[in-house]
Amino acid sequence: MKTRIGFVSNSSSSSFICPLCDADYSVMDGDPKGHFSLCTCENNHSFCKKHIAATEVELLEYMRKHVQKSEIYDVENIDSFGIKKLEKLFKMDQYGKFTDKRLFSNGHNFNLNFYSSIPADICPICTFQIIPQSDINCYILKKFKKRDEIIEEIRKKFKTYKDFKNFLKEENKETEIDEQWNKISKLSREHWAKENPYNEN
Ligand SMILES: [Zn+2]
Ligand SMILES: [Zn+2]
């Protein structure tokens, strides 16, 4: 029988890029949950904590609700806490970690529990305050049902991949290709409207 000696670990750090600001983080196993600068909403959108769509006071109230609902933390009379008391309870150290012992009962970690499933109400993506480019791309493809046509157009219009990338970089610049595209997408919109008469005003 062979025996492995030494530290064996299957976990490895990889990069996570915030979809809202492109900030790059090193996270374990590609999972942003648990990173002290990141949070994840109940619909699994992950981003920097600074993008949370709530004021500091609102966030304190959401934290209070989380403690009340989960019943695993022993915080007496939290229902009657004023803002000052809430601030004290949810005070964080310089690393963004909560310090009050009552938030770490029975192996439960408020940091991880709260920030790995924040309510959709305060997620900037769930509330449509910001729509990630990847979702916009999917929407365009779905709405205009033109994926194959788009691929065909890209192949026809650009001699090299470099030309294609250069075109993508030239924002807001009307070119012959833009005009062609507008013509095609207008036709496609009309086609879509015909097929979905109830959705178009
Ligand atoms: Zn960010
Ligand atoms: Zn979300």
Q: 33-70: per-residue pLDDT in tens?
A: 988 899 999 999 999 999 999 999 999 999 999 999 88
- Ligand 2: centre distance to CA 45 (Å): 5
- Ligand 2: centre distance to CA 126 (Å): 4
CB 194 within 8 A of CB 174: no
Q: In angstroms, rounded to a whole number, what is the distance separating the alpha carbons of residues 186 and 63? A: 48
Q: Token digits for 155?
A: 């192949």
- Ligand 2: centre distance to CA 10 (Å): 29
- Ligand 2: centre distance to CA 35 (Å): 17
Identify the pLDDT of residue 1: 45
Among residues of the chain, what percentage have pLDDT more than 70? 79
- Ligand 1: centre distance to CA 134 (Å): 15
- Ligand 2: centre distance to CA 31 (Å): 16
pLDDT at 171 over 80: no
- Ligand 1: centre distance to CA 1 (Å): 49
pLDDT grade, residue 183 (50/70/90)? Answer: low
CB 188 within 8 A of CB 145: yes
- Ligand 1: centre distance to CA 20 (Å): 5
Name the burial class of residue 132, with classes exposed (0-12), middle (13-18) and buried (19+) by CB atoms within 10 angstroms of its CB: middle
Ligand nearest to the CA of 48: 1
Poorest-pLDDT segment among 46-50, 73-77, 176-180: 176-180
Q: In angstroms, rounded to a whole number, what is the distance separating the alpha carbons of residues 38 and 46? A: 7
Ligand nearest to the CA of 123: 2
Ligand nearest to the CA of 23: 1
- Ligand 1: centre distance to CA 130 (Å): 11
Distances (CA, A) of 181 to 36, 140, 148: 44, 13, 14
